[in-house]
Chains A and B, each alone.
Chain A
Amino acid sequence: NAGVTQTPKFQVLKTGQSMTLQCAQDMNHEYMSWYRQDPGMGLRLIHYSVGAGITDQGEVPNGYNVSRSTTEDFPLRLLSAAPSQTSVYFCASSYRPQGAEAFFGQGTRLTVV
């Protein structure tokens, strides 16, 4: 099984550019989410989804958009990149039952210059 796959692994953007971070899972998980990891800040929840067509905001949603048209995919869009969005981004998924383990991707390291 591939598990949770994030692409790209590395990306450099110029301020103001837009891009989409891809996340796909092949485990038929209903729940998916995006986090950003910054030094000394831990992981902070950006957006999450409890199923296709349903999304909600997390702790730090500003500057990011998401959609969930299929169970497998949960892309994260940066509409106008800013240097403050330089971070490592992780996607995660889990089964619907209570307390299920979240499976994480390997991360995307994004630098905005």
Chain B
Amino acid sequence: AQSVTQLDSQVPVFEEAPVELRCNYSSSVSVYLFWYVQYPNQGLQLLLKYLSGSTLVKGINGFEAEFNKSQTSFHLRKPSVHISDTAEYFCAVSVDQAGTALIFGKGTTLSVSS
């Protein structure tokens, strides 16, 4: 069975600092990996996804993630964060090929302050 572990529940950073949100997964089959963002009182929005090919994936709003099969990780990074990046971030793995039936991690709250 698939599972996802987000290693940090909260990450406080200052504006313009770099950030890394960590995600590890376990799966007995090939995986499709996703990062979603949730702004307060809103639904989820896709940041980026890994299906195959290049292990470095670029997403929206300057975020990128690196798939590491040997370490079963999919960490999210941004070189310089903004106040507007304050949100909850979810790592997810799909249980089918379409990416709709997702298994989510518990989330990481990113708090950016000035």
Binding site for B on A (CB under 8 A): 4, 29-33, 35, 40-45, 48, 50, 56, 58-59, 90, 92-102, 104-107
Contact = CB atoms under 8 A, between A and B. Distances in A.
Instruction: Determine chain B's interface SS by DSSP, over half rule.
Output: loop
A31 B98 CA distance: 7
Interface residues of B, number: 27
Interface in B61-114: 90, 92, 94-107
A46 to B, nearest CB: 10
B100 A31 contact: yes
A15 to B, nearest CB: 26
Interface of B: 6, 9, 32, 34, 42-46, 49, 51, 90, 92, 94-107
B104 A95 contact: no
A99 B100 contact: no
Contact of B97 (A42, A59, A98): A98
Nearest to B32: A99
B107 to A, nearest CB: 5
